[in-house]
Chains A and B, each alone.
Chain A
Amino acid sequence: MPTDTKPKVATARRVTAELQHQIEQHYYTEARMLQDELFREWLEQLVAPDIHYWLPVYEQRFRRDKRPAPTPDDAAIYNDDYAMLKMRVERLYTGQVWMEDPPSRIRYSISNVEAYHTEIPGELQVYSNFTIQRHRRQTEHYTHTGGRQDLLRQDGTTFKLARRKIDLDARVVQDKNLYFFA
């Protein structure tokens, strides 16, 4: 699975234990907001206006294949700015998303949080893993695993999400859609 090479783990400066704790707590709060369908609050309080929210499509290629990893110019499942995320969020409040009525359940487990300072003060490069469980209707159950590479911006005592790259482990998505925020 290709990942960004910056920051170099050997040289990048890890955050302090206290900051690490704050970031982890931030992620747990974010997950709980999404579990509780507080989508507007999530967007307004935790997402920066210059967000790039990106879930690229990875093709399975031979190791010898030298073509570069996907960029935001290539095929993606999410390649959103703030306005697009806002439309996705507002759609959920129209009262006309029939497949979410009765509502489905979603549960996030966030782990492997690894945070580094970047060259820009107050901006943090954060890696994490997720397991997302979706339960719908009577018996439908879907599991999604993957990793995230975030750029978090410190905002007083909290953080704003400025970049999120989501690497989904499954090539063929085992779910009827990926309309959730990872």
Chain B
Amino acid sequence: MLDLDELVNNDGSEQSREIFWNQDLYQLEIERIFSRCWLFLTHESLIPKYGDFVSARMAEEEIIVCRQKDDTIRAFINSCTHRGNQVCHAESGNARAFICNYHGWAYGTDGALVDIPLEQRCNAQVNKEDCGLPQVRVESYRGFLYGCFDAEAPNLEEYLGEFGWLLDTWMIGAGNGVELLGPPSKSVLDCNWKVPAENFVGDAYHVGWTHAAALEVMGGELAGLAGNRADMPFDDMGKQFTTRHGHGFGVINNAATSIHIDRADYDTFMAEQLPKVAENLGEARADLFNGHWNCTLFPNNSFLYGTNTFKVWHPRGPHQIEVWSWTLVHKDMDRELRKKIQIGAAFTFGTAGTLEADDGENMMTCTHSNRGSVTRRGTLRSTMGLNHEGPHPDYPGIVGASFIGETSYRGFYRFYKEILKAQSWDAVRDNDDSWDSTFENRDFWKNRPTAS
């Protein structure tokens, strides 16, 4: 029997290796994390017209997301209520109905069961009103659509909380906001879903070493990190953030476009937007706008603002994921720039990306080395920058002093443990005022002479 208190220590800086391997724990994650949290589905711009749909996934559940006649968006489970067959096998399209291949049961674009072949003549004895495709809560944040299975969960805006305030920096800070370009590339990776989630939430540490080869060849501001050889004032080069519900990111100042190979037009675009961000949202967020952000929206939605890759790590059991990757662009970018961004993002973080290719093996063996039960008795640590973090005068959440640190790892795993232990969302809400008390150095920023 698993002792949930033993999985992660109090401040989130030490984890049992069990969390990357244990099948029972995986089932508990499905029930208490993936069946309760908001999971990324798609972006509104990818289903612009009535009847436009995409096939999405929420952990291991197949989902259809479809735009309705009244322009609202619905999401429902992609499995016939008769015998369970999947009712839609296309990844996207425009539909007036979803018809099951098995016996021809037909569902409307709202998921309602509208037709049962031979219903009267053969005494089907089904109450159609009760047999629609089960509906999923779906809400939008700045055009990004998320689904949730738990009626008791906070709404999406509350779930994101202060993380949303921070994401607004580039989601609405300038012009008309951002959107995604699809279709997503898809690949299978033999790792636990938390390995890439933790990597994106707070691992700028690995960049200089894991990605040394690509950085050296591609140049740009981050090339200085290659091989960890440079002596840099890391504390003045960026920050890390962790907020309620485990979301977090690291930001490298003024490095947004740094790993794009064809970036002149992108740099110009960003320079034009920057004053608008200051005007719309104030200086604190304007200071982050031109930074490079590595983010995870808890639990499994990760993205790199600046590098423009936007990903979901769909769990497929404890030891495998499916990676879906879109390209993140500003709506105000012209066609040429969007194309450059899409090509650049694929070049670095696509399925054959010059940086992405470096990560896969690490993620795989970080998982599979835990198959040995003796190895698994050990723990893993994310202590870098512990106590070099705290509440900040200008930003919400807990802010770490350096982009190379593990502040947002600790925030991620602190919440991971909290939600695994919680019997319901009400139990989570009980901690809303005290969640960050495990970050003990409350006066870190106040006492830091060079705090900026």
Contact = CB atoms under 8 A, between A and B. Distances in A.
A84 B347 contact: yes
Contact of B227 (A96, A172, A173, A176): A96
Most buried by B among A61, A83, A99: A99
Interface string B201-244: 00000000010111011100000001100000000000000000
Contacts of B186: 171-173
Interface stretch (A27-35, A86-94, A116-124): A86-94
B69 interface: no
A158 to B, nearest CB: 27
A97 B213 contact: yes
A94 B213 contact: yes
B360 A177 contact: yes
B352 A61 contact: no
Interface stretch (B72-80, B88-96, B393-401, B430-438): B88-96
Interface residues of A, number: 37
A66 B452 CA distance: 54
Interface string B181-214: 1111111111000000000000000000010111
Given A91-B213, A98-B210, A98-B358, A76 B187 contact: no
A99 B90 contact: no
A75 B227 contact: no
Nearest to A73: B339
Nearest to A171: B186
B175 to A, nearest CB: 22
A173 B187 contact: yes
Contacts of A60: 89-91
Contact of A99 (B343, B347, B358): B358
B342 interface: yes
A75 B185 contact: yes
A11 to B, nearest CB: 34
Contacts of A172: 186-188, 322
Contacts of B183: 57, 59, 75
B90 A87 contact: no
Interface in A103-118: none
Contact of B212 (A90, A96, A179): A96
Interface string A60-86: 111001000000010111111001100
Given A77-B351, A172-B187, A174-B188, A96 B213 contact: yes
12 contacts: A73-B335, A76-B350, A79-B346, A94-B217, A96-B213, A98-B210, A99-B357, A99-B358, A172-B322, A174-B187, A176-B187, A177-B353
Interface of B: 89-94, 181-190, 210, 212-214, 216-218, 226-227, 261, 322, 327, 335, 339, 342-343, 346-347, 350-354, 356-358, 360-361, 364
Given A61-B93, A180-B352, 6 more contacts: A59-B182, A60-B91, A75-B346, A79-B346, A79-B347, A176-B189
